[in-house]
């Protein structure tokens, strides 16, 4: 039988491993402490206790960041396996009693969140009355671990290998303008003609940004563009385009509401629009996602399949 002292020592060691893993992920004691909701002093003590017990230095310390030593990298691999096994064991035992409850911190791009996520949250809340959604609307790519987000929606190619990703839907792109603009300036038929038009740029994208638009399924056809408006928000660009200010290159979830009633017209050019890889739900790796995360992902998958609502009956 395990004594109380042995049990406390085991729990303390697991906590130390969790702190160590978070410090390695965030590069700072303060970041790990925030995520784990403990003081920085306590986080420092856990790391110091680990190093003392192991007799090895786990981090190189600079004024700005902590980086893993060779011993630290070796120990991190073992810690991640152990903590993942513990999480799986916990979930296996409690699966039958798992209740979707607590708070789900969900971060979503501004326009997509307003148009496609916020309207379905009442249905989600009715299905899971014990769960509170903390919805963050932000076009900046947040650090899920550092900032304590449970789940994020991201659009485009996934590059962060430290996150798990689940594809929720496709993301088609269209080049559009208002009929009034096309009547005044003419309708371009080739991507090369866009250089002579007022192209309204999205400043947060390198693919369809303020100075260059990419075409072709692989995005290798690049066209230099310029215009009288640049914005960091797609809704602002859509509003300006509807008002006749210029041409925009935006995803269908943004432009479809204006295309259906004829306020915007999709242009047929000589090159295909770029194929974005999709819309994804992403969450921290290294463990099975909690029930609240799985619940939201499954809910969105059911809503967006087989064709996402913004593309249904869109004849372009």
Q: Is the peptide bond before 295 cis (omega within 30 degrees of 0)?
A: no
| Other beta carbons within 10 Å of 88 | 12
Q: Is residue 314 part of a domain?
A: no
Number of domains into which the chain is organized: 3
Nearest Cα neighbor of 145 from 288, 285, 289 is: 285
Taking each helix axis from N to C end, the angle separating 4-26 and 70-94, rounded to the nearest 10 degrees, works out to 120
Whether 81 and 102 map to the same domain: the answer is: no
Q: Is residue 301 part of a domain?
A: yes
Extract the tokens encoding 139: 């076009």
Task: Work out the end-to-end distance of the chain between its first and last CA atoms, rounded to an integer number of angstroms.
Answer: 69
Whether 81 and 160 map to the same domain: the answer is: no
Whether 241 and 210 map to the same domain: the answer is: yes
Query: What pLDDT, on the 0 to 100 scale, is given for residue 4?
Result: 53
**What is the domain range of residue 128?**
98-170+277-306
Whether 290 and 164 map to the same domain: the answer is: yes
Q: Is residue 233 part of a domain?
A: yes
Query: What pLDDT, on the 0 to 100 scale, is given for residue 97?
Result: 45
Question: 310 and 279 in contact (C-beta within 8 Å)?
Answer: no
Whether 137 and 285 map to the same domain: the answer is: yes
**pLDDT tens per residue, range 56-107:** 999 998 877 888 999 999 999 888 888 888 877 777 655 534 678 889 999 9
Q: Is residue 90 part of a domain?
A: yes
Residue 2's pLDDT band, with cuts at 50, 70 and 90, is very low
User: pTM above the 0.75 mark?
Assistant: no
Whether 284 and 260 map to the same domain: the answer is: no
Choice between 268 and 29, residue whose per-residue pLDDT is larger? 268
Whether 92 and 109 map to the same domain: the answer is: no
CATH code of the domain containing 24: 1.10.10.10
Q: Is residue 136 part of a domain?
A: yes
The Cα 65–Cα 88 span in angstroms is: 31
What is 200-244 written as a DSSP string? PEETT-SSB-SSEEEESTTS-EEEE---S-EES-HHHHHHHHHTT
Q: Is residue 195 part of a domain?
A: yes
Does the structure show a pLDDT above 50 at 221?
yes
**pLDDT tens per residue, range 31-64:** 888 888 899 999 899 999 999 989 999 999 887 7
Please give the backbone phi and psi of residue 164, each rounded to the nearest 5 degrees, phi first: -90, 145
Q: Is residue 61 part of a domain?
A: yes
- Cα distances from 275 to residues 71, 103, 151, 272, in angstroms, run 43, 35, 24, 8
Q: Mean pLDDT throughout 214-237?
A: 94
Q: Is residue 17 part of a domain?
A: yes
Query: What pLDDT, on the 0 to 100 scale, is given for residue 277?
Result: 83
Residue 108's pLDDT band, with cuts at 50, 70 and 90, is very high
Q: Mean pLDDT throughout 211-240?
A: 94
């Amino acid at each position: 039988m395990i004594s109380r002292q042995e049990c406390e020592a085991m729990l303390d060691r697991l906590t130390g491993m969790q702190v160590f893993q978070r410090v390695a992920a965030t590069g700072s004691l303060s970041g790990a402490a925030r995520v784990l909701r403990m003081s920085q002093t306590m986080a420092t003590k856990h790391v110091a206790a680990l190093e003392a017990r192991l007799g090895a230095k786990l981090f190189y310390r600079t004024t700005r960041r902590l980086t893993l030593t060779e011993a630290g990298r070796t120990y991190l691999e073992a810690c991640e396996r152990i903590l993942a096994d513990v999480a799986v064991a916990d979930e296996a035992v409690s699966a039958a009693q798992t209740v979707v409850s607590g708070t789900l911190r969900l971060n979503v791009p501004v326009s997509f969140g307003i148009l496609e996520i916020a309207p379905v949250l009442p249905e989600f809340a009715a299905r899971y009355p014990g769960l509170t959604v903390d919805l963050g609307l932000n076009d900046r790519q947040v650090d899920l671990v550092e900032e304590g987000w449970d789940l994020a929606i991201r659009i485009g190619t996934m590059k962060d290998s430290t996150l798990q990703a689940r594809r929720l839907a496709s993301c088609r792109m269209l080049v559009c303008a208002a009929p009034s603009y096309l009547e005044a300036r003419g309708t371009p038929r080739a991507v090369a003609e866009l250089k002579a038009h007022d192209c309204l740029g999205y400043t947060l994208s390198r693919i369809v940004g303020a100075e260059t638009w990419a075409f072709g399924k692989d995005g290798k056809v690049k066209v230099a563009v310029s215009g009288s408006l640049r914005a960091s928000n797609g809704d602002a660009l859509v509003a300006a385009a509807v008002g006749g200010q210029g041409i925009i290159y935006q995803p269908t979830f943004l432009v479809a509401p204006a295309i259906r009633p004829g306020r915007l017209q999709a242009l047929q050019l000589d090159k295909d629009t770029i194929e974005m890889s999709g819309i994804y739900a992403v969450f921290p790796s290294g463990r099975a996602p909690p029930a609240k995360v799985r619940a939201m992902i499954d809910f969105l998958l059911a809503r967006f399949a087989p064709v996402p609502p913004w593309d249904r009956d869109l004849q372009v």
